[in-house]
Structure 1
């Protein structure tokens, strides 16, 4: 049986690829897509999620809009990377279906409560606001999810500050809630995603598929490459978010180790830093893990084959 996942995202170029990977691989089943502020406002990220669904022919999956701001702080977006729309580059089609009327937090809770215990995996690839609100509103879900596999953080440095990764630092209080819950949690951070690079060879392999979805991804990567080069000096852009989905599909894509994780909330220059205690052995009962290495060719093979399978 495929692993059932809720993708909580803020599309975003790499979130779009994560959605395509989840849709195109038979080993996972998208049971819900929820959106949150982050790469752009929640109105724009929600519009983008529906556009990606239209491109890929995703149907029968509820999409719901979530939090429009952090729990405590002022909203911050990544226009410098993702553009004015949050998904600049390709033409974005009109949505093919309407949003679920529920708030994303309620869709997350309802989906988990309606499923057999420990069958739903939460895959957040954005600010953790929706996930934090869901587990605070309905604490039972912490014991009912299979696991949380999030894209965010990093134990060796940041990208939005010297110490902190974007998804975490834009709502560190939410991240603190999620990291300190009792559920199994794996952090897929910059330590591995900065090696998931869309090189010319990767882009050419996707282009060779020759389908509308492949062309859409090529247009995404064209813009993403330029913006990452201009904003952060990368020769080739790191495509962060689908790495979390790939790990759910095939855990051998990543090397992970058990380690206590926490989020800095009070540091003057380290706000949002994810601290992984890599001393061994990990304390008994530790439920958090951190990714340390990636098999990049295996990861890109999964992405390419999913795009091919969508047709």
Structure 2
């Protein structure tokens, strides 16, 4: 069984990724959930993580992390996720205790004490992960891989060239991609193909208590996505979890990836060396395509498992 730490900034798609990971306890052992300022402020995304974990009745420890990037002020995304960072369902009645307010040392201790290698699933800006690798380089020997949502080959969504998670903290992203650790990059090239249709969203309505929350999350997210030109809803962060559960759903290519940290129009760009020769040494598996129907089926199956737990 793969041991994972999920570093996230919930976020509608983060919430669905958490649900899917925590449903698949036969394949993933979630050691901890950690939060990072991103889609909304650290306080808001941590509250959202507490609500999701409380809703699921999870005993996974939660730690809050950095409230800002390494260099720049935090830039949030209320236009996509609403003022709370996870608008839609009413979850204020659910809560979950906070085990630590120092996610970096919390991750370090868990990784060093684990009985085997640990995979980091990074669903937000990479500030926590970069600080972990820089502050405690000894953890690298105990990290199996980093599966992250971020970047893109030929376009961005925060700027024409930069995807949100990378754009928020490109200095941190540069540290992670240069770390020498195995990386799976689920960028916009694949996540924008990982869409759920409105009919599939409506099919969750009335199926069970957790599916109902997912329905409410996705209805808001679907409406929000229309302003960005989407008819169906890409569930970006879920790709980084579903790759671990079923790599056969995805197609990717091994490439060298680095991040532009300079000021200017290209700040936050993940540039991918696609030259046949003389290409730079590979440092990431860059996902480029997904079996959309299989991807959605995995989510629906996970929600059914959580529904059964909630009523059982």
TM-score (norm 2): 0.94
Query: Runs of 4 or more off by more than 4 Å in structure 1?
Result: 281-285
Q: Is the 8 A contact 1:127 1:171 kept in 2?
A: yes
| Higher alpha-carbon deviation: 281-290 or 133-142 | 281-290
Unpaired runs of 5+ residues, structure 1, are none
Match for 1:226 among 223, 228, 234? Answer: 223
Task: Measure the CA separation in 1 of the matches of 2:57 and 2:231.
Answer: 32
Unpaired runs of 5+ residues, structure 2, are 308-312
- 1:148 and 2:146 matched: yes
- 1:305 and 2:301 matched: yes
The aligned counterpart of 1:83 is 82
Q: Is the 8 A contact 1:258 1:282 kept in 2?
A: no
Q: Is the 8 A contact 2:100 2:106 kept in 1?
A: no
| Higher alpha-carbon deviation: 99-108 or 247-256 | 99-108
The aligned counterpart of 1:257 is 253
Task: Measure the CA separation in 1 of the matches of 2:222 and 2:105.
Answer: 36
Alignment of 1:286-305 (within 5 A): 286-305=282-301
The aligned counterpart of 2:112 is 113
Q: Is the 8 A contact 2:273 2:280 kept in 1?
A: no
The aligned counterpart of 1:176 is 174
Q: Is the 8 A contact 2:55 2:95 kept in 1?
A: no
Match for 1:212 among 194, 205, 209? Answer: 209
How big is the alpha-carbon RMSD for the aligned residues of Structure 1 and Structure 2? 1.5
CA distance 1:284–1:274, shift in 2 (3 Å)? closer
The aligned counterpart of 1:136 is 134
Q: CA deviation at 1:307?
A: 0.4
TM-score (norm 1): 0.95
Q: For residues 81-113 of structure 1, give each alpha carbon's deviation from its aligned partner in whole angstroms, at most 9, with x where no partner exists.
A: 111101111101344431013511111111111
Secondary structure of 2:203 counterpart: helix
Task: Measure the CA separation in 2 of the matches of 1:9 and 1:238.
Answer: 17
Q: For residues 14-60 of structure 1, give each alpha carbon's deviation from its aligned partner in whole angstroms, at most 9, with x where no partner exists.
A: 0000000001123112110000000100000000001011222212x
Q: Is the 8 A contact 1:143 1:182 kept in 2?
A: no
| Higher alpha-carbon deviation: 167-176 or 275-284 | 275-284
Task: Measure the CA separation in 2 of the matches of 1:282 and 1:94.
Answer: 57
Q: CA deviation at 1:186?
A: 1.1
